């Protein structure tokens, strides 16, 4: 079963991600709905959920989801929403999401600031959301196993702080995919946390293997 077929079988996202029209970005409405459904599933936001960290991040809201055409990090342009997955796979694309949540009591450590482990959990969700938003456009499943998560904590967040997390894919073409995230204080724009997440994909490369004859020619 291909990626889009699997995603379409997921249940509709509950509050606060139950209104796909409220998600900004260049994805058509159907893909914004699918992006919200993936997001809710990744959080474990479904009845009876006992997934790690679910109660801490169940109010995490997907505010934006878009895909951009890139040129070595410059001249980012929003991708046309009518492009086919086949054509999209030929381009250098970047998935981007913005997620928001307010720091609650259960997200704090004993020092009354956002716990580092909670920050890491948020970043894990955010970085995967940028990759899976890109998956909706290319049809390639970028889910996988975390290989590394490098976190830098710049400033603390206290109870009631509104967090804005901006996540972008970095690379999806090799054996390891990667994405990054920056978490800000939404009111002050102050950077609180930054991170880079590398992932070993479950799905092997979609490129066909060279035949022995083709491989011989390639070495000439």
Bridge partners (DSSP) listed for residue 50? none
pLDDT band at residue 73 using 50, 70 and 90 as cut-offs: low
User: pLDDT tens digits, residue range 170-186?
Assistant: 999 888 999 999 999 99
pLDDT in tens, 35-56: 999 999 999 888 888 889 989 9
In contact, 132 and 35? CB cutoff 8 Å: yes
**Phi-psi label, residue 48: left if phi above 0, alpha if psi -120 to 50, beta otherwise:** left
Half-sphere exposure of 147 (CA within 13 A, CB side): 13
- pLDDT-above-90 percentage for the chain: 68
For the whole model, what pTM was predicted? 0.87
Q: Is the pLDDT of residue 216 over 50?
A: no
DSSP class of residue 108 equals: B
Asked if the model's pLDDT at residue 219 lies above 60, the reply is: no
Tokens of 81: 């929403």
Classify residue 28 by its DSSP letter: -
Token duo for residue 12: 């509709």
**Structural domains of the chain, ranges and CATH numbers in brackets:** 3-219 (3.10.129.10)
């Amino acid at each position: 079963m291909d990626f889009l077929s699997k995603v379409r079988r997921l249940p509709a996202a509950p509050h606060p991600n139950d209104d796909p029209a409220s998600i900004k970005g260049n994805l058509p409405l159907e893909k914004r709905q699918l992006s919200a459904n993936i997001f809710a599933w990744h959080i474990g936001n479904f009845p009876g959920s006992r997934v790690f960290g679910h109660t801490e991040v169940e109010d995490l809201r997907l505010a934006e989801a878009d895909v951009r055409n890139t040129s070595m990090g410059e001249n980012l342009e929003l991708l046309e929403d009518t492009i086919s997955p086949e054509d999209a796979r030929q381009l250098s694309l970047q998935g981007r999401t913005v997620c928001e949540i307010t720091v609650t009591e259960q997200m704090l450590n004993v020092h009354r600031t956002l716990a580092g482990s909670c920050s890491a959990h948020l970043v894990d969700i955010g970085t995967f959301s940028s990759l899976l938003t890109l998956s909706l456009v290319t049809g390639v499943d970028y889910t996988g196993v975390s290989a590394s998560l490098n976190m830098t904590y710049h400033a603390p967040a206290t109870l009631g702080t509104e967090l804005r997390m901006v996540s972008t894919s970095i690379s999806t073409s090799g054996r390891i995919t990667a994405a990054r995230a920056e978490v800000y204080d939404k009111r002050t724009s102050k950077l609180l946390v930054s991170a880079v997440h590398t992932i070993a994909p479950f799905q092997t490369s979609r490129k066909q293997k060279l035949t022995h004859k083709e491989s011989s020619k390639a070495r000439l």
